[in-house]
Every structure is written in structure tokens, then in C-alpha cells.
Amino acid sequence: MTDWITSPENWAFVLIAVPMVFAAFRAVTSPNVVHSVLFLVVALAASAALFLLLGAEFVAWTVVLVYIGAIIVLFLFGIMITRAPLGVETELSHSNQTKLGAAIVSGALFALITVTTIQGFGDAEVTASPTRTVEIGESIFQRFVIPFEVVSVVLLAALIGGIVLARRDPVEGDEAERSAMGSAQSANLTAEGGEA
Amino acid sequence: MILSQFIILGAALFSLGVYGVLTRRNAVLVLLSVELMLAAVNINFVAFDVFLRDSIAGGQIFSLFVIAVAAAEVGIGLAIVLLIFRNRQSANVDELDLMKL
């Protein structure tokens, strides 16, 4: 245990892990929707820092680009479009009874995973070494090329599904013409803005 | 660094995600908690990949796949939430009780 404390890697780990858990906790308990999303940014940035600590550089920057860059923006759009209460609002979470049950469930889950991990792995050492992006590229386009193609089909399906679900059904008259002319997404956004 | 510290951190994040899914009323915030759980899964993937010194970096590549699937999931999820909001004027999960007698 004294070895563990003296290693600078572990200081870095603690410096990353403590804000991460705090941010994750605030993200699921914050009474303000926008604060909740911004705390998720902190938690995801900490996970990117953790990947850098482990030497997984490509994954770290992918997390920054895709999660923090794209998914968070999508969440903020979702909040604005569904007009979730933006101010301080106590009704964002369920009652205290549900909270107690959820706390028991998640606490039990955490205890279970912790105990089995410590029993299973003990103090097995991890030595971080940088994974070069060329290794990832070679592996993804040789060994994992079929899963890679399947993921691109999933993304295409999500793209089409998102447009089909979110577009407004065209009604008779100029509404139908407008949504037929413009792209479904932009017509949808203007319609949404006009309604507000 | 020991492997357990990464797995326990992942477990903490995952448990917080479960707590969020169970307690949040707003559907967008439920999706946000699911993202937290997926981030925990990514930490486990990368930690095991580095621990096992995988020569084909399978853990890191599957964490990239998880990120891609998470992006797709958020896109579809928010589209469904938007549709529900449009039809029912509410994005609260406990008000979606159409199947209740």
C-alpha cells in the first residue's frame, strides 16, 4: 500500500478519479438540467484523461471529439426542444422513496462489483504503455473490419431512423410542400421554433 | 497502478448511472445517465486491454465501437423523446402511462 501511494501515476489517478465521481454524482442528482449536462462533460473529460493515463491516446481524443463535441450538444438540443424546465426544479427526480430504493440498488451493485473485483484480481499490476494510432488502424481494418462495417450500418440506420422519427408528418397544403422541399430536419426545427 | 482501481472506478460510475436511470423523471436525463454507464464500460474495456497487453488492441477498438453505438443511441433516443413530447406535451417518464389500466 505504501508503494501505491508513492507512485506519481496513482496521484494522477486520484486527481482524476475524485472530480470524476463527484461530477458523475452531481450529474445524476443536480436539480438543474443544464448543470446536469455540464457535469457530464466533466465526467467524460475525466474519463478521457484516464485513457491518456493508460496510454490509449486515440480512444481519449475520440471521447473528447465524439462525446464532448457531439453528444453533449445533442443533449443540449434535446433539452431545448423538449423545453425541459431550465431553472431550479425539484420535480426532475422521483420521490424520496424511489430515491432510497435506487440508492440501495446502486449501492449493492457497487459493493458486489468491488468485492468480486478485489477477490478476482487482488493487486494485479497494470503498466501503461502508449498504444500508437497506427496499431489501432491496422487492427481495425484487418482483424475488426467486419464489426467496423456493421457499426457503419448501425450509424446509417440511426441517421435514417432519427430523421423519420423526428420529422413532422406532412399535412395538406403548404405545410406539406415546405417539408417536401426543405430537408426534414431543418423544416422540423423551423416548425418547432415557430410554435414556441 | 493496479487493475482493481480502474474497475472499482468504473463500478462507481456505473452505479451512479443506475441510480440516475432509476431516479430521474425527465427522459433526456435518463438518457444522460445511460451515457454515464457507457462511459464506465469504456473504462473497463481500456483498462483490461492495457492490463492484458492485447497485441490487436481489441479492448480499445471495442470502446470505439461503444462510442459509435452510444452516438447512435442518443440520436434515436432523443428523436423518440421528441416524438413523445410532441404527442403528449411532456417528457416525464412517469406520465407515459398509456399501458396502465
Give the mean model confidence (pLDDT) for residues A88-113.
83
Tell me which residue has cell 413530447. B85
Q: Is residue B63 less than 8 Å (CB to CB) from chain A?
A: yes
Cα angle value A117/A123/A129 (rounded, 5°): 105
Q: Which three cell numbers stand for residue A110?
A: 457497487
Q: Please, what is the average pLDDT of chain A?
A: 82
Q: Is residue B79 less than 8 Å (CB to CB) from chain A?
A: yes
Residue A92's nearest CA partner among B80, B86, B92 is: B92
The pLDDT of residue B8 is 93
User: How many angstroms separate the CA atoms of B23 and A29, rounded?
Assistant: 9
Q: Is residue B96 less than 8 Å (CB to CB) from chain A?
A: no
User: How many angstroms separate the CA atoms of B50 and A55, rounded?
Assistant: 8
How far B100 CA sits from the closest chain A CA (Å)?
19
In this prediction the pTM is 0.84
How far A54 CA sits from the closest chain B CA (Å)?
7
User: How many angstroms separate the CA atoms of B92 and A83, rounded?
Assistant: 11
The pLDDT of residue A9 is 85
Range with top average pLDDT, A126-130, B14-18, B21-25, B84-88? B14-18
Give the mean model confidence (pLDDT) for residues A132-153.
92
Q: Is residue B101 less than 8 Å (CB to CB) from chain A?
A: no
Distance, C-alpha A73 to centroid of its chain: 11
Give the mutation candidate from A47, A118, A150 for the B interface (greatest B CB count, under 10 A).
Answer: A47
Neighbours of A78 (CB within 10 A): 27
At B30-61, the pLDDT tens digits run: 999 999 999 999 999 999 999 998 888 889 99
Kindly tell me if the per-residue pLDDT of A72 is higher than 50.
yes
Top CATH class, B3-90: mainly alpha
Helix axes A33-53, B27-52, angle to 10 degrees: 10
